[in-house]
Amino acid sequence: MRYALIALAISAGLYGLHRLAVWAERRGFIYYLRKHGTSGTLGNAFLEVQSLFEPSARAALEERVKDDNEADASGDPPR
């Protein structure tokens, strides 16, 4: 009986965390089930770290960000 209560408490806790994550995703705080981050965002983050060690990577990062800004300003629909 004791193990059943422990399992029930753990299940309830996990369900509560799941509902909290779904709520946070709807509010735009995190990516959880339905939304996914873009690889471009992650690539820019790694390129930023790499630019600390290799200054030539800084130029590549600036070009990538400039291209993204130009695409946003052109009025084309998002990718």
What pTM did the predictor assign? 0.45
Q: Where are the domains of the chain?
A: 1-30, 37-79
* Buried/exposed 10-39: b ≥16 CB within 10 Å, e otherwise: eeeeeeeeeeeeeeeeeeeeeeeeeeeeee
The more confident residue out of 74 and 16 is 16
Ordered alpha helix ranges (H), 1-79: 2-27, 39-53, 55-73
Could you read off the pLDDT of 2-52 as tens digits, one per residue?
Answer: 999 999 999 999 999 999 999 998 888 888 887 666 666 677 677 777 777
The alpha carbon of 77 is separated from its chain's Cα centroid by a whole number of angstroms, namely 21
Supply angle C-alpha 73, 54, 42, rounded to 5: 45
In the chain, the N- to C-terminal Cα span, in Å, equals 55
